[in-house]
Chains A and B, each alone.
Chain A
Amino acid sequence: MTSLLVLQQVRAVDPARQLDAVVDIVIERGRIIRIGRGAASELSPSEHVKFVRGPLTVFPGFIDLHTHLREPGHEYKEDIASGLKAAAHGGFVAVCSMPNTKPVNDRRSITDAIVARAKEVGGTRLHPIGAVTVGSEGHKLADIGDMRLAGAVAISDDGRCVTSSSVMRHALEYARTFDMPVIQHAEDHALTEGAQMNEGAVSTRIGLRGWPRVAEDIIVARDVLLAEATGARYHVAHVSTHGAVRILREAKSRGIRVTAEVTPHHLLLTDESVIGYNTACKVNPPLRLAEDVAALREALADGTIDCIATDHAPHSGLEKDCEFSAAAPGMLGLELCVPLLYGFVLDGTLRIERFVDALSQAPAGIVSLERPTLAEGARADITVIDPEARWHIDPSKFRSKSKNTPFAGREVRGRVTMTIVGGNVAFEFGS
């Protein structure tokens, strides 16, 4: 049994401490007990002291605000055990799980069951998100206070938009009492009935019903006004349009309590990827245009979009190996996010501090979790990567039960080599 874990001569990057230096990190009993140049110089490897060395970069542990772990109800796609293993494999120390399970997580008994199962599984922590409304049907508020007590960190009807202005107002007002953010899937369903992909030249050419960008913008604009009126915390899930970015930027400049996330796929792909009826690229909101991708990257870099979230949405062949209109929306994210997006650090799209903040401290703040940090005395939630690794995405290596990704075969830079959750190694590459 090792009692000390030592990360020796690693580059440590922690934007919260303006730290970017080569240091040793010593971890004992779940906490960082020493960090600094030569902090481990008096230690040597033994039965009780595990050393990790190499040209590695370490970050405060990554947190994903937006995952679908499918349990209860759709365990053939993913379950809490496989989902949390996938999360650890992808470098995440904690994930939030959306409530669109079967049954919907709209009451304490279900939240309890999810929390209990995650504790049994161990490794990456799971923080459930409760439904806004009963059954996520958009009418009656769910048991928000009870779910909070059971461990829910936010509420959302993700997959569906809280369409009614009145219900959304009351959700924001009520959630404010419990200091929870309301996470909105911004889609005016009246404008997207039957929609299969982004509305534009590509949807016209390949004959698929379009999802116009304005359907997102309308909801974000309305919700920002409601957030202002109620003073509540509002978070926009998977922002996909340049219009929504503009509204968010304006709202933030006026001090409204609004935050936002963006997915790796919306930062990397456009609607052109759907050509050929590639169901792996069917997501909701859909992949947009190059001008949207550019606006999303810029907004992530300048902080208008606070964080990166994967919208990890596992599906089996039943939902994806079929004609496009019959396919379910969503793609995997947990095991792809870091390698896909580390390229942004290398090509200068994102400063490394912003990359780390967007994956760690910013999401923690949005759902009021303890912010991971690389400091003496801090809980040892740490993500370790090999920044030099060059490799190809191979879905057969995924811990997820599902394989639905359009990124198979893509060459990436940077590999997660270790995920440390509360001092315990939840994942280690090669072991």
Chain B
Amino acid sequence: MSRPFRHLLDIESLTRGEILTILGLAQKMWEVSERSVKKVPTLRGKTIVGLFLEASTRTRSSFELAGKRLSADVINISGSGSSTSKGETLLDTVKNLDAMSPDVIVLRHSSSGAPHFIASRVRCAVVNAGDGTHEHPTQALLDCATMMKHKGSLEGKTVAIVGDVAHSRVARSNIHALTKLGANVRVAGPRTLMPVDIGAMGATVFERVEPAITDADVVMVLRLQSERQEAGLIPNTREYSRYFGVNSRNIELAKPDAIVMHPGPINRGVELEPELADGSRSVILEQVTYGVAVRMAVLYLVAGGTLDEG
């Protein structure tokens, strides 16, 4: 069975088979990135517009490289240089871009659901590069690719997601992806940073880090933004680090071969001890590498490829 892969808006609406198909394709794309000539003609003549209306370095450059390695023409528009900063509505901005006949718009936006909204109004494909506190689907896909490289099938594996789950689109996308792939997902963090009824998404909720990471195969640490302290959600970063940070002591509770992940950018010494970020368990830079491969796969699919259900 196959269906056209029109947009990538979220992980929630993907099936397990679709996720595995994307990941399988990403593996092939990863091989392209390992060559000395890192370019294939697959998307020659296709146009990709990156519309990054919220700050992004990693994701933006990852999508750009992904597009270029597939020979697509890629332009990026960022928040401060765009007409949205001149008071144009998102819909008008997007309709104007659509009128120039791109094949794909990659959107990052601070408003949850913004990609879903524009997807219903444009002819081109839309890829969600992070919407508010909703989802960041390509991040979850690259995380799964990285985990599967180290752990094989994720069926029955235990993944602990630690930190500011409330404000994390990465956590939400990963909970969807991991539960679909059969992993046991745990979330841990202070109650002030834990969204209400997160358990309904299929994760087991822990208040303390230690029980959450005990016997985990994967420990995924989330970024703590300094605004959380200013908003009164935590007393200060020192205390956060002491009670909710992941470090070389509490990581010993995880499985001996457990890997440590982080979606970046890292606040070294706050949510994650620097030695651990750079240590042998860390796969943080591999995540970045897989990011390009996964985005190549996604761009290929939305620009015309079909998605076979496994």
Chain B contacts with A in 158-212, Cβ cutoff 8 A: 169, 172, 195-198, 200-201
Closest to B118 in A: A323
A408 contacts chain B at the CB level, 8 A cutoff: no
CB B51 to nearest CB in A, in angstroms, measures: 13
Closest to B89 in A: A322
Q: How many residues of B contact A (CB 8 A)?
A: 25
Chain B contacts with A in 92-132, Cβ cutoff 8 A: 109-114, 116-117, 131-132
Are B197 and A200 neighbours in the complex by a CB distance under 8 Å? yes
**Measured CA separation A200–B197 after assembly (Å):** 6
Are A323 and B109 neighbours in the complex by a CB distance under 8 Å? yes
Are B117 and A204 neighbours in the complex by a CB distance under 8 Å? no
B135 contacts chain A at the CB level, 8 A cutoff: yes
Q: Kindly supply a per-residue 1/0 record for chain A positions 383-412, scoring 1 wherever the CB is within 8 Å of any chain B CB and 0 otherwise.
A: 000000000000000000000000000000
A17 contacts chain B at the CB level, 8 A cutoff: no
Which residues on the B side are within 8 Å of A348 (C-beta)? none
Are B200 and A204 neighbours in the complex by a CB distance under 8 Å? yes
B134 contacts chain A at the CB level, 8 A cutoff: yes
Q: Kindly supply a per-residue 1/0 record for chain A positions 156-198, scoring 1 wherever the CB is within 8 Å of any chain B CB and 0 otherwise.
A: 0000000000000000000000000000000000000000100
Are B111 and A321 neighbours in the complex by a CB distance under 8 Å? no
Closest to A205 in B: B201
Q: Which of A196, A199, A321, A323 contacts B196 (CB 8 A)?
A: A199
Q: Which of B91, B135, B200 contacts A207 (CB 8 A)?
A: B135
Which residues on the A side are within 8 Å of B195 (C-beta)? 203-204, 210
B71 contacts chain A at the CB level, 8 A cutoff: no
B266 contacts chain A at the CB level, 8 A cutoff: no
Which residues on the B side are within 8 Å of A277 (C-beta)? 112-113, 116-117
Closest to A324 in B: B113
Are A326 and B197 neighbours in the complex by a CB distance under 8 Å? no
Are A326 and B111 neighbours in the complex by a CB distance under 8 Å? yes
Which residues on the A side are within 8 Å of B109 (C-beta)? 323
Are B201 and A208 neighbours in the complex by a CB distance under 8 Å? no
Which residues on the A side are within 8 Å of B112 (C-beta)? 196, 206-208, 277, 324-325
Which residues on the B side are within 8 Å of A204 (C-beta)? 195-198, 200-201
Supposing A207-B132, A276-B116 touch, asked if A326 and B90 sit within 8 A by C-beta, the answer is yes
Closest to B195 in A: A204
Are A205 and B90 neighbours in the complex by a CB distance under 8 Å? no
A contact patch SS: loop
Q: Kindly supply a per-residue 1/0 record for chain B positions 251-291, scoring 1 wherever the CB is within 8 Å of any chain A CB and 0 otherwise.
A: 00000000000000000000000000000000000000000
Supposing A322-B89, A322-B90, A326-B90 touch, asked if A206 and B200 sit within 8 A by C-beta, the answer is no
Q: Kindly supply a per-residue 1/0 record for chain B positions 134-172, scoring 1 wherever the CB is within 8 Å of any chain A CB and 0 otherwise.
A: 110000000000000000000000000000000001001
Are A325 and B198 neighbours in the complex by a CB distance under 8 Å? no
Q: Which of B90, B133, B169 contacts A323 (CB 8 A)?
A: B90
A201 contacts chain B at the CB level, 8 A cutoff: yes
Chain A contacts with B in 307-344, Cβ cutoff 8 A: 321-326
Are A206 and B134 neighbours in the complex by a CB distance under 8 Å? yes
**Measured CA separation A21–B116 after assembly (Å):** 53
CB A9 to nearest CB in B, in angstroms, measures: 51
Which residues on the B side are within 8 Å of A322 (C-beta)? 89-91, 117
**Measured CA separation A324–B196 after assembly (Å):** 20
Top 3 nearest A-B pairs (CB, nearest first) are A207-B134, A277-B113, A201-B197
Interface residues of A (CB under 8 A from B): 196, 199-201, 203-210, 212, 276-277, 321-326
Interface residues of B (CB under 8 A from A): 12, 89-91, 109-114, 116-117, 131-135, 169, 172, 195-198, 200-201
10 interchain pairs, CB-CB under 8 A? A201-B197, A203-B196, A204-B200, A207-B135, A208-B112, A210-B195, A212-B196, A322-B90, A323-B90, A324-B111
17 further A-B pairs in the complex, CB-CB below 8 A; given A203-B195, A277-B113: A196-B112, A199-B196, A201-B197, A204-B198, A204-B201, A206-B112, A206-B134, A207-B113, A208-B113, A208-B132, A210-B196, A276-B116, A322-B91, A323-B90, A323-B113, A323-B114, A326-B111
